[in-house]
Amino acid sequence: MKIAIIGAGKAGLCAGKHCLKENISFDIFEQTGNLGGTWFYTDLVGHDENGAPIHTSMYKGLRTNLPKELMTFEDFPYPKQIRSYLLQEEVLDYVRNYSKKFHINPHIKYFKRVIWIERQNFLWSVHYEDVKNKQKEMEHYDAVIICNGHYSDPFIPDIPGIESFSGKVKHSHDYRTPEPYANKKVLILGSGPSGLEISQQISNVATKVFISHRSKDALPVSDALYQKCLVKEFVENRAIFEDGTSEEIDDVVFCTGYNYNFPFLSKRCGVKITNNYVHPLYKQIISIENPTLAFIGIPFKACPCPLFDIQVRFVLASLTGHFKLPKKDVMLKELVEEEKRKPGPPSSQYHQLGGAQGSYFDNLAETAKIRKIPPVIQKLYLRVISNRNLNDCFKIIDDHNWVQIYCSGTGCK
């Protein structure tokens, strides 16, 4: 068996590590010259020096919104005595060391951008291009695992008047540093982790920052940071809000999330995206139409490394015959029943786990007869999302218990 893995971020490296453990041949296709996926920082936006689209959405000064204890691969802990909430470069170092430890790097095809994937008889044709010399090649694989992430194709809502807004408009995907917003009046749309952190960064240099959101929770404010409700429309250089108020704005930053996007997948692969809902997939992982095609990391509001780990093990368990997938009609029936349990028509919210993460992990383990994710991960996750404080420090004691510990400026005690 030979597997093509698309992307050398955390998910792709995790897939490679488990392929090595199972003695499965594989190649990881990476369009840049760096591993780490979205955790790799570059000042560039738009396209890189080789003309390839910039994949990463990383900005300077980013801190994780989950503690490292929830962002750790089970068999590769972070170094001891460091904070729980880390900076981007600390996570990237961890990812690089992970690849080095498990000898994954020799299997990565750097500067190779996948441009087309299609099923031919019982094999997958993976067409790719060298982003430097533009030479195109094709190889055949028995299975494909897609690990290209879902933080690279910006979603920008269609707000009346935005096309004629006289100021500058960008998505957080292209945000890098706050300096360009010095002495300006800036509107941030979205109060997710990126929206909150970017608004805080920009408020240190801007005249005023308005953060527009639908959340019922009060957000941190300061002398330069103000909360606003949703934007109704833009008129020249003013934002008109749903409560009838308006503000003069110089720049707008959309922190409104991303689209799932697999532009290299042939339609014949049988995977569709409707209202940002990826389907039909079994357990949000395996293509029901073509079960040797799998996606890692589609669910969100979850602990990334544990998620990648159990999803990869689920896929490899199916490919190696450790367990047998249900028949197509059975998988489709289960999917329909699951869709009915979600409120409203299927959308990207279908992929949100949140508090249901633990039961999702357990279901995968029980279905595939593989090792479970330790319950302590879900226990700590529920604590973190109920009271998120980036100064908190945690320590996992065993598979069932964690404790909160005192953190000094540089380490934990």
Alpha carbon distance 338, 351 (integer Å): 11
Rounded-to-5 percentages of helix, strand, coil across the chain: 30, 25, 45
Structure tokens at 53: 């689209």
CA angle 220, 377, 276 (to 5 degrees): 65
Q: How confident is the model at residue 79 (pLDDT cuts 50, 70, 90)?
A: confident
Buried b (16+ CB within 10 A) or exposed e, 162-189: beebebeeebbbebbebeebeebbbbbb
Are 323 and 317 in contact by the 8 Å Cβ rule? The answer is: yes
Alpha carbon distance 307, 296 (integer Å): 8
* pLDDT for 412: 59
Run of H or E including 328 = helix 328-341
Task: Give 358-374 pLDDT, tens digit per residue.
Answer: 999 999 999 999 999 99
* pLDDT for 148: 96
Task: Give 175-232 pLDDT, tens digit per residue.
Answer: 999 999 999 999 999 988 899 999 999 999 999 999 999 876 667 677 789 999 999 9
Q: Is 408 exposed, middle or buried (0-12, 13-18, 19+ CB in 10 A)?
A: exposed
* pLDDT for 365: 98
Q: Which percentage of the chain shows pLDDT scores above 70?
A: 97
The answer on pLDDT for 388 being more than 90 is: no
* pLDDT for 43: 96
The answer on pLDDT for 410 being more than 60 is: no
Structure tokens at 406: 């005192």
Architecture of domain 2-153+258-379: 3-Layer(bba) Sandwich (3.50)
- pTM here? 0.94
Does 375 sit behind a cis peptide bond, omega within 30 degrees of 0 on the bond before it?
Answer: no
* pLDDT for 346: 77
Q: Which percentage of the chain shows pLDDT scores above 90?
A: 86
Domain residue ranges of the chain, discontinuous segments joined by +: 2-153+258-379, 162-254
* pLDDT for 383: 96
* pLDDT for 16: 98
Q: Whole-number mean pLDDT of the chain?
A: 94
Q: Is 369 exposed, middle or buried (0-12, 13-18, 19+ CB in 10 A)?
A: exposed
Are 279 and 268 in contact by the 8 Å Cβ rule? The answer is: no
Could you count the other beta carbons within 10 Å of the beta carbon of residue 387? 7
Alpha carbon distance 386, 381 (integer Å): 9
Could you count the other beta carbons within 10 Å of the beta carbon of residue 144? 24
Handedness of CA 134, 28, 87, 149 (dihedral sign): positive
DSSP annotation string for 62-83: -B-SS-GGGS-BTTBPPPSSS-
Residue 56 — left, alpha, or beta (φ > 0 → left; ψ -120 to 50 → alpha)? beta
Domain 162-254 is found in CATH 3.50.50.60: yes
The answer on pLDDT for 281 being more than 90 is: yes
Alpha carbon distance 361, 359 (integer Å): 5
Indicate the pairing of strand 393-396 with strand 185-189. Answer: unpaired
* pLDDT for 121: 87
Alpha carbon distance 259, 275 (integer Å): 9
**What's the whole-number mean pLDDT along residues 254-283?**
95
**Between these two residues, 89 and 216, which has the higher pLDDT value?**
89
Domain pair 2-153+258-379 / 162-254, same fold: yes
Run of H or E including 306 = helix 304-319
Q: Where are the alpha helices (DSSP H) in 124-192?
A: none
- Residues near 97 by Cβ (< 8 Å), separated by ≥ 6? 76
The answer on pLDDT for 277 being more than 70 is: yes
188: three-class secondary structure by DSSP: strand
Question: How many Å from the N-terminal Cα to the C-terminal Cα in the chain?
Answer: 47
* pLDDT for 244: 95
Alpha carbon distance 323, 50 (integer Å): 43
Question: DSSP assignment, residue 193?
Answer: H
- Residue that the structure tokens 């049988």 belong to: 270
* pLDDT for 369: 97
* pLDDT for 355: 94
